[in-house]
Amino acid sequence: MHRLIALFATFALLLAACGNDDAEPEAETEPTATVVAEEPAPATTPAPVDDTPSDEEPGDEEPAPDPVDEPTPAPVVEPTEAPEPTGEPLERPEPIDFSNPAFSSADKLTTAGLGAMFFGMTPDQAGELLPTRWTGGPEDGTPRCYLLAPANGPAGVVVTIYNSSIERVDITNPSITTRSGASVGSTEAQLHELFGARLVVSPYADGSGNSIQYVPVDETDVDYRVIFETDGATVTSMRAGRLPAVAPAEPCT
């Protein structure tokens, strides 16, 4: 069967070959050029712009800015810790007892002062030693010279402040005496017996009495005096202090 098919095919080919040889050759035609339309080039998509600042360091043509000096921070002050309470009672000064008089019969008048009060002290210094509070002040005189008296007495004791210090004390209280025992109420005769030639007597111009000064012989006490005022017979007042404050009959004059 296959052979028959092969033979038939061979025969057909032969017939075809023979028919082509008898036919005239066709005129050759030039191939027609095929025009292919150019497609438009795709539009170029612009690259995205990067707005992020560059981290690159500036080149030599752009010098780096000068460094900014940072301010020095202020030192930190540590708070002081409050002391812890100990529970112990506070020591308070004892109140000053002013019930006793600042001066008594035990305090003697001398050329240096009266009792624990010495000429040249300030009123505050004397007030702590006596002790006392003073009454009076500059309103009773001038700032340069004024009078004070101990608030707790005794009466008849007046202190003169001259140029801010105690320079004089006047006594009319008969309980206050000198170291030798002279006081208000002593006679002129007793004064002469006690002090002798160291007394200088100056009669009053009106003849009503005498001013009798005790003048120290010691060179260190040359500016100090104890002065007795009399009615011509007995002592009515006495005073002690430093010159010039002690000299006038009335203080601050």
pLDDT above 90 covers a percentage of the chain that reads 55
Within-domain flag for 253 = no
Within-domain flag for 249 = no
Q: How far apart are CA 186 and CA 212, in angstroms?
A: 12
Q: How far apart are CA 111 and CA 86, in angstroms?
A: 52
Closest CA to 242 of 223, 220, 222: 223
Residue 61 has pLDDT above 70, yes or no: no
139 or 41: which leads in pLDDT: 139
pLDDT above 70 covers a percentage of the chain that reads 61
Within-domain flag for 45 = no
* Residue 98 confidence (pLDDT): 76
Question: Which range, of 19-23, 63-67, 74-78, 156-160, averages the lowest pLDDT?
Answer: 19-23
Within-domain flag for 230 = yes
> What's the CATH number where 197 sits?
2.60.460
Please list the residues that pair with 253 across neighbouring strands.
none
Within-domain flag for 17 = no
Within-domain flag for 8 = no
pLDDT tens profile 65-100? 666 666 676 666 666 666 566 666 656 656 667 789
Measured between alpha carbons, how far is residue 241 from residues 82, 120, 170, 205, 247 in Å? 53, 10, 9, 24, 8
- DSSP class of residue 220? G
Please list the residues that pair with 166 across neighbouring strands.
161
Within-domain flag for 56 = no
How many domains are contained in the chain?
Answer: 1
Element (H, E) at 213: strand 210-214
What stretches of 58-174 adopt beta strand conformation (E)? 113-114, 117-118, 134-142, 145-150, 157-162, 165-171
Within-domain flag for 100 = no
Domain holding 232, by residue range, is 113-242
